[in-house]
A and B are shown apart, each in its own frame.
Chain A
Amino acid sequence: MNEWEVFRRERKGQPFEHAGSVVAPDADFAEAWAREQYGRRGESVALWLVPRDAIRDVEDWADEFDLKYRRVDGYSIKARLKEARERAGTAPRDR
């Protein structure tokens, strides 16, 4: 099939976002049709047209071992911070 994926930039400063797809035989037809479907109201300042089979789909990652060491949720500093402040006499007063 001849699907072309359409990415649109709504305005300068925004990233390109996936907007939909048109079925077209080549880039010229894809452009002519995407221009109208995704731009006739000035709702896009730019489009990227990509044949669907040029896109490599990536959807799974291995999640076997504990990788929390490299993420924010792998760190809990509350208890040690409290102890450090108590030692230094800088613990905030309990309310």
Chain B
Amino acid sequence: MNAQERLLGIADDELVLGWRESEWTGIAPLLEEDVAFSSIAQNEIGHARALYQLIVGEEGDADALAFDRELEKYRCAPLVELQLLDWAHTIARRWLYEIADEIRLAALKDDPDPAVAGLAAKIDREETYHRMHAAMWHERLRDEPRFQAAVEELWPYAVGLLPSELRDELAVRTGLDLPSDNLSQAHERGTHTDELGPLWEEMTEVRRSAPAGAQW
């Protein structure tokens, strides 16, 4: 995977995860959390936007890159495509995602391209608050059987988020064992779940209703 593909993968992860997390708007378990969670979703979309803009260049159309591709051209990992409209799974994914994201951002901050390294550093600083939030919820839910089950279920997907050279660190940080060939396999980036199609349909419904280039 070249650098561009790698960035696109991260951008698509942030877009789709942000989209999924915005599904909780108005229906989160506590009003205070609803407000806080919405900021996280907005931040993810903001990161996606910045990454898309970096890829297309200053004069390029980030929206076109975000929305106007065919399904097979999206590079998001299966983890973010899943609709998880229950809190245990949602927080399990949050927690796993933030740990994985921190690991890959650390690598990106050392990128030879200063624009990439700079953006990674900016994203990383904003993610500090996401990590605090995820750790806080993990602390509170870790003893709940349904949360533990959710983490176990999503773990193979979380592994698939990272390139193989970063997976050992993920295992160390989460305290979970990497999937081996005999047991559950990681859900690798490169194929999509059957949830991405309907998501993309809904996400682009209004956009596709007008000719390309229409202003909104």
A and B touch in the complex (CB under 8 A): yes
* A residues whose Cβ falls under 8 Å from a Cβ of B: 22-25, 28-29, 32-33, 35-37, 40
Closest 8 CB pairs of A and B: A33-B32, A36-B36, A28-B136, A36-B35, A22-B32, A36-B39, A32-B133, A33-B36
- Residues 17-50 of B contacting A (Cβ, < 8 Å): 30, 32-33, 35-36, 38-39
The 9 listed contacts between A and B (C-beta, < 8 Å) are: A23-B30, A32-B36, A32-B129, A33-B35, A35-B36, A36-B38, A36-B39, A37-B36, A40-B35
- Residues 95-126 of B contacting A (Cβ, < 8 Å): none
Flag if A29 contacts B35 (CB, 8 Å): no
Nearest-CB residue, chain B, relative to A39: B39
Instruction: Choose from A29, A36, A40 the contact partner of B136 (Cβ within 8 Å).
Output: A29
A25 partner residues in chain B, CB cutoff 8 A? 140
Interface of A: prevailing SS: helix
B85 partner residues in chain A, CB cutoff 8 A? none
Are A40 and B32 CB-contacts (below 8 A) given A28-B136, A32-B136, A35-B129? no
Interface band, chain B: 10 to 19
Interface of B: prevailing SS: helix
* B residues whose Cβ falls under 8 Å from a Cβ of A: 30, 32-33, 35-36, 38-39, 129, 132-133, 136, 139-140
A29 partner residues in chain B, CB cutoff 8 A? 32, 136, 140
Question: Whole-angstrom distance from the CB of B145 to the nearest CB of chain A?
Answer: 20
Nearest-CB residue, chain A, relative to B139: A28
Question: Whole-angstrom distance from the CB of B136 to the nearest CB of chain A?
Answer: 5
Counting chain A CB atoms within 10 Å of each CB, the highest count among B36, B38, B39, B132 belongs to B36
Flag if A37 contacts B136 (CB, 8 Å): no
Flag if B39 contacts A40 (CB, 8 Å): yes
Please measure, in the bound complex, the distance between the C-alpha atom of A37 and the C-alpha atom of B136, giving whole angstroms: 17
Flag if B132 contacts A37 (CB, 8 Å): no
Question: Whole-angstrom distance from the CB of B81 to the nearest CB of chain A?
Answer: 27
Please measure, in the bound complex, the distance between the C-alpha atom of A23 and the C-alpha atom of B136, giving whole angstroms: 16
Not counting A32-B129, A37-B32, A37-B35, a sample of 16 additional A-B residue pairs whose C-beta atoms are within 8 angstroms of each other reads: A23-B30, A23-B32, A25-B140, A28-B139, A29-B32, A29-B136, A32-B36, A32-B132, A33-B35, A35-B129, A36-B32, A36-B35, A36-B38, A36-B39, A37-B36, A40-B39
